[in-house]
Amino acid sequence: MALLSYDSAYIASVGRYDKLVKVWRRLSYGSGGAGTEEGVDGARFDFVYLRHGDVVTRLEWRRRPRHEGQTVENVLWTVDCKGRVKLWVGGDGHGMRELRLWGGLELGMKMGWVVQGGDLMGAVEGVVEPRTRDAVEKVVEVGRRCHEVVVGLDGKGGVKVWGLEDVGWEPGAQKRGGVWEIVEVKGVEGLDWGGGAGEHVEVQSYCDGKGLLQVLVHFFDGRIEVYETDLAALVDPNPKRKRLERVAVWTGHSAPVKKVVRNFSGRAVVTRTESGQSVVWKHELDHGKGVTMLRRQVVIQQAGHVHRMCVLRKGRFVVFLRHEKVELWDCRGAQARLLAEQRITPTAHVATITSEKEGVGWEVKFPFYRPNDPTVKVANGRGEGDQEGCIREFVKFTLEDAGDLGYVLPVDPAGADFHVSGFLDVFARDVAISYTHSGRVEFWTARVGHEGKGVEWLSTSSLETGVANPALVSGSTLKKAALVSADRSTLTIWDIRGARLEYEQKFENSHTIRDLDWATTPAKQSILAVGFPHRVLLLSQMRFDYLNKGPAWLPTREISIRQCTPHPIGDSVWLGGGHLVIAAGNQLFVHDREFEASTSLVPATGLRIPHRKGKARQLDLFEVVDRLNGPLPVFHPQFLSMCILAGRISLVHKVLQALRKTLRFWAEGDVVDDYLGLDLVEFYAGDGSLHNGGGHPREYLNRRQSFDDGDEPFSEETAVDINERLTRIGIPQLSGHEQIQLVDIVECVGVVEKQRRSLDENGARFMLAFRQHALRKGRANEVHISWREISWAYHSTSQDVLVDFVTKQNHGRMLWEGARESGMFMWLGDNAAVRQQFEIIARNEYTKGEDKNPIDCSLYYLALKKKTVLQGLWRMASWNKEQASTSKFLANNFDDPKWRTAALKNAYALMSKRRFEYAAAFFLLADHLHDAVNVCLNQLHDLQLAVAITRVYEGDNGPVLKRLLEEEVLSTAAKEGNRWLASWAFWMLGRRDMAVRALITPVFALLSTTPSSPPPDDGNLKSKSYLTDDPALVILYRQLRQKTLQTLRGATKVTPKVEWEFVLHSAGLYDRMGCDLLGLDLVRNWEFFHPAAQAMTGLGGEINPLRLLKRRGSLVVADIPIRGGPLSPLATPGGQMQVPGEMKTGGGGGTTAKPKPPPTVFEEPDANSLLDSFGF
């Protein structure tokens, strides 16, 4: 060790384990270079030995003057290993005088340091806060009398402070000043550093710009602790006064961190390097100050590769899996020790499973310990009463039924509470997650057998994800699983219990996914940390939004470490309470839940999150996630929309009336109650609309009349008044976009209220949904209304009102674009009405342009088989260059096969010129409806147009429509998992029993009974999306199942278990949407069918559907043909039973379709030689 004095006149040096300090004083400088004789050797030095009684451990020169502008006298402090401090002062600076001993003191402490004169005066001046008179006088006296102050700490709560008066040397004088003991205090709280008392500790201090002393304590086990104090606290004789306040701890590894593992509660983690150095960290949270700390507990220095780590008992014990053994380490003391055996201990079980499904289990016995008991012996070596631990292999097992196993990983506890039930069932806590090479994910729970022999495994849930060879898989105790594709670019998040895909995102190739970590809020909401090389993206779950098809997961925060370190992220892990630890290089970065609002990926203004008091720019991660989840206020637009779909119109009126009353008396700063003061019983008691099947045209009016007579009836004027107030008042619980949606809902309810006398329940649902669609069309990407709304209109008995409503929305001129947007030709039930509206569209398509081009309406008139009308339009189109040839061609008789073939040739010629819609018209002219349908599907990609022209051309019972529904529509429904579309198609086919079952059963399961049905596509993620679910499905199911005899028969084929699971699943969807009260209403008021033994009548044991009803059977439509028995659609006149396949149609009419004529063999000609005289 060598140090220069402040003026560079002296150099003090000391060797290792040396008792002599050598002080050098330069006498002259050499004149030569470094390589000459007059170089370094030419300089002349004088030196002196300073003798000490023991090994010298520390040297320190006076660094700065007491006041600015003063001359610094050279003073050297030396400290030996016994804590003896000596002060040496220099000569006059001009003579040859060596350093001389000024004095000394017996420190007698574990550690000590000198507060030098410049820092001392800064600390005296920094005492500006109101103090007691004694404290101020004490500080002033110290500043007046002392040049320096020496502080000693014994590490056991003892503090001693000495003042050094007039340290210096004057010629002709022996000594001036002396040592003054300022204060000595014992038992100071917070200064007990415990173990390691024999180790050397280095302390430095300086005064910062605020007048506070910053103390750096360097423990040579790899820690530097930074403390803060002021002089008044340091010299205060009161033992209860806090002296030092720890500001920071600098500690960590000496090599890059490769792995971070947490314990179950997240209160302890262990980190390791490639060489095997491991550190156990404790997670501490100061709730009073909101400060989180990661405190190093112990270092495990044993080298060697570690395969796996397991943290037990909040970091008190750690289990290492190495190449040849499993180790149990005791980490309770200052030094970790390897345990050997234990007499009376609790036990834990650790298991590992290979990809060959072979597993090994170990039983770990811990030493006996009492938490928070400092008397427990934890020193190295065995002592009397010292409880030892042990570890032994107790079982080898095989994991059956795991498939082509790729990996088995522990389930991320993600902050969940630890509960052990003792039962082996699906409700037990999951301990492992496995995945196969094909992408099958499975959760497992386990239980140790009786008397500690063997282990039992049970699969609690599984799902075929279709993600082959995933690179990363992580599962949480909430049965959420995150999978990363083999190229580490695509992330998918799955709800394994609900068997649905909730999130899919493909990242750029440069952003490879490195790590996945789960966290859970106290409200059981999930957060996923996705690790990239230099950043971590936090994804949080959101409420399901089936109305706007919103995302189920949202990025809320991005943590980038590029500004802190160039090293890539090695690993990351969540601590308890939502704190994230990121390991990069040899550093650990701890991020708490609070973060700057400016760094949030979710705008705080959009969420309207209340900021914490005194932290206006800070957001709390859990509060943000809670805002994105949880129950919605009853005036939220999504809650009101779901009430409307559930048929709770009167409840919506009550909520809006209560909202109007609240807004009428609202003042700035008022809190809007989430329930608006309404009785919660009103939300789940039911009003009869949803609980008796619904669907009667007068029910909507009857419910409206049941509204409380004491309240003002809801009207369009009421809606206008509410919206006027909403434009002036911002509701705290709603974001700006949500408040706009609320205004839309209120306006829609007001519009529907005007039509309530002529609307049934389903018509009101469609009108509200279509009105909302029209209002948000400019803000959304939806081209046309969804199949859910089409289903409501299809089952409505007031379709004429809906047609007028849709026409008015299109300003009285319905074009095909508007018809497709409203789905009109999908939900119109009367074929005569279909033809009437199609002819209106044909006229409007012809007149939509100034030129009145007959090409635009050709498809529509030919579908209507009104070629004569089209001829007349062509005769008036004299401006069109194709007019002459087309008029001449249309004048022919197309009942003649010759001209049909000519029309077919022209259709193919138009196909080659990519005039697809016009080509479809010529296919119809050639009576090739099937080809026209294929053009609509494959080239125009317009399913609705294909269905519309088919219904118009051949009616609702034609073979082409049947083939289109069976092969195209149902196949599309199966691929997309669209149960609304499947139910509509089955109803169109006359299979109303299957239409009911399609609402509750996966579509591919209903189609798998036919040989021609395509197998389910496991790789199609769209069919597994959460958007294929919808809680409104249960509403339509309840309504349709008792509408006709066929639907009743279909409902009887749904087992009570399936229906039970369907109802609970729908209630869970309501809960995930934030509509908990509607979920409660559903499970509280649902009625199950209970087929009794006496209901089994008819041939083949068919259930009499009418016996299942609790209402009059005359209200049920009899749509089952009577053939061979009163309720036996399967019986023949001869008495023989015929059991058709599920997909055989004809149950609706009882007639047999005419056999198709043999197909005409046609050889496609060259497009360039087709009827050139026709003008193409």
DSSP 295-326: EEEEEE---S--SEEEEEGGGTEEEEE-SS-E
Instruction: Check whether 730 has a pLDDT greater than 50.
Output: yes
The arithmetic mean of pLDDT across residues 683-694, rounded, is: 56
- Residue in this structure with the two tokens 């910062």, named with its chain if needed: 208
CA end-to-end span of the chain, whole Å? 100
CA-nearest of 689, 674, 831 to 765 is 689
65 bridge partner residues? none
* CB contact set of 416 (below 8 Å; sequence gap of 6+): 429, 476, 477, 478, 520
Contacting residues for 769 by C-beta, under 8 A, at least 6 apart: 785, 788, 789, 792
Select the more confidently predicted residue: 952 or 455: 952
698: number of CA atoms within 13 Å, CB side? Answer: 1
Tell me which H or E stretch contains 999. none
Q: Calculate ∠ Cα 237-238-241, nearest 5°.
A: 120
Mean pLDDT of 745-755: 87
Residue 543 has pLDDT above 60, yes or no: yes
Q: By the 8 A CB rule, do 816 and 784 touch?
A: no
The sign one gets for the Cα dihedral 357, 360, 361, 367 is: negative
pLDDT at 1125: 37
In 334-401 the beta strands, taken as DSSP E runs, fall at 337-338, 347-353, 358-365, 390-398
What does the block give as tokens for 799?
């379709």
> What is the residue-averaged pLDDT of the chain?
80
**Which amino acid is present at 369?**
Y
CA gyration radius for the chain? Answer: 42
pLDDT at residue number 288 = 62
Q: Report the range of poorest mean pLDDT among 200-204, 720-724, 879-883, 1114-1118.
A: 1114-1118
Distance from C-alpha of 432 to C-alpha of 400, rounded to nearest angstrom? 14
Q: What are the tens digits of pLDDT across the range 794-853?
A: 999 999 999 999 999 999 999 999 999 999 999 999 999 999 999 999 999 999 988 889
For the four alpha carbons of 940, 941, 947 and 948, in that order, the dihedral sign comes to negative
Query: pLDDT tens for residues 127-158?
Result: 755 566 666 777 888 888 888 889 988 878 88
Asked if 280 contacts 328 with a C-beta cutoff of 8 angstroms, the reply is no
Q: Which segment of 704-718, 740-754, 1131-1145 scores lowest on mean pLDDT?
A: 1131-1145
8 A C-beta contact, residue 686 and residue 1085? yes
Give residue 740's identity as a one-letter amino acid code.
I
pLDDT of residue 189: 73
Q: Taking the alpha carbons of 299, 301, 305, 307 in that order, is the dihedral positive or negative?
A: negative
Phi/psi of residue 1044, each to 5°? -135, 170
Q: What is the number of other CB atoms lying within 10 angstroms of the CB of residue 425? A: 10
| Six-digit token string for 32 | 């030569």
> What are the C-alpha distances in Å from 262 to residues 234, 269, 369, 518, 631?
39, 4, 21, 12, 32
In this structure, the number of other CB atoms found within 10 A of the CB of residue 176 comes to 12
Assign 911 a pLDDT band (cuts: 50, 70, 90): very high
Q: Which residue, 65, 88, 63, is CA-closest to 77?
A: 88
What is the pLDDT, as a whole number, of residue 1104? 56
256: enclosing H helix or E strand? none
Cα separation of 354 and 361, whole Å? Answer: 12
CA atoms of 98 and 468, how far apart (whole Å) = 81
SS3 readout for 861-917: HHHCCCHHHHHHHHHHCCCCCCHHHHHHHHCCCCCCHHHHHHHHHHHHHHHHCCCHH
State the alpha helices, DSSP H only, in 191-327. 231-234
Here the tokens at position 528 are 């996923």
* Distance from C-alpha of 548 to C-alpha of 531, rounded to nearest angstrom: 30
| CA distance readout (Å), 944 to 780, 825, 973, 978 | 21, 7, 14, 16
Bridge partners of 1137? 1131
Percent of the chain topping pLDDT 70 = 79
Alpha-carbon distance of 416 to 9, in angstroms, equals 65
pLDDT tens by residue, 1026-1056:
888 899 999 999 998 888 778 788 778 888 8
pLDDT at 293: 76
- Phi/psi of residue 1120, nearest 5 degrees: -100, 120
Q: What is the pLDDT of residue 1140?
A: 36
User: Which distant-in-sequence residues (6+ apart) come within 8 Å of 761 by Cβ?
Assistant: 647, 649, 689, 694, 695, 696, 699, 700
Q: Encode pLDDT of 92-101 as tens digits.
A: 545 445 788 8
Beta-carbon count within 10 A of 1056 CB: 11
DSSP string, 499-552: TEEEEEEE--TTS---EEEEEE-TTS-EEEEEE-SSEEEEEEE----TTTT--S
Region of 1074 please: left (phi>0), alpha (psi -120 to 50) or beta.
Answer: left
- Residues 1064-1092 have pLDDT tens digits of 999 999 999 999 999 999 999 998 876 54
Instruction: Tell me the average pLDDT across 584-591.
Output: 90
Pairing label, strands 10-13, 20-28: antiparallel
Q: Compute the distance between CA of residue 57 and CA of residue 199 in angstroms, rounded to an integer.
A: 12
Are the CB atoms for 953 and 863 separated by under 8 Å?
A: yes
The region that residue 131 occupies, defined by phi over 0 for left and psi between -120 and 50 for alpha, beta otherwise, is beta
622 torsion bin: left (phi>0), alpha (psi -120 to 50), beta (else): alpha
d(CA 572, CA 553): 21
Name which residue leads in pLDDT, 789 or 301.
Answer: 789
Long-range contacts of 288-296 (CB under 8 A, 24+ apart): 290/594, 292/575, 292/577, 292/579, 292/590, 292/592, 293/249, 293/590, 294/269, 294/575, 294/581, 294/588, 294/590, 295/249, 296/222, 296/223, 296/249, 296/251, 296/252
3-state secondary structure of 357: coil
Q: Is residue 726 pLDDT above 70, yes or no?
A: yes
* Residue 1067 neighbours by CB distance under 10 Å: 22
DSSP state of 375: T
pLDDT score at 1054: 84
Contact 276, 302 (CB under 8 A): yes
pLDDT band at 783 (very low <50, low <70, confident <90, very high): confident
- Which of the 8 DSSP states describes residue 328? E
Q: Would the pLDDT of 381 be above 70?
A: no
pLDDT of the residue at 42: 67
Alpha carbons 316 and 345: distance in angstroms, whole number: 14
- Output DSSP code: residue 1006: H
Asked whether the predicted pLDDT for residue 176 surpasses 60, the reply is no
Cβ 160 vs Cβ 184: under 8 Å: yes
Beta bridge partners of 583: 571, 588
- Reading the block at residue 307, the tokens are 């395969």
Phi, psi of 343, rounded to the nearest 5 degrees? -85, -65
Q: In angstroms, rounded to a whole number, what is the distance separating the alpha carbons of residues 204 and 207?
A: 11
Interatomic CA distance for residues 1007 and 1021, integer angstroms: 19
pLDDT in tens, 960-991: 999 999 999 999 999 888 999 999 999 999 99
> Could you give the dihedral angle defined by the CA atoms of residues 652, 656, 662 and 665, in that order, rounded to the nearest 10 degrees?
-160
Token pair, residue 388, equals 């030892």
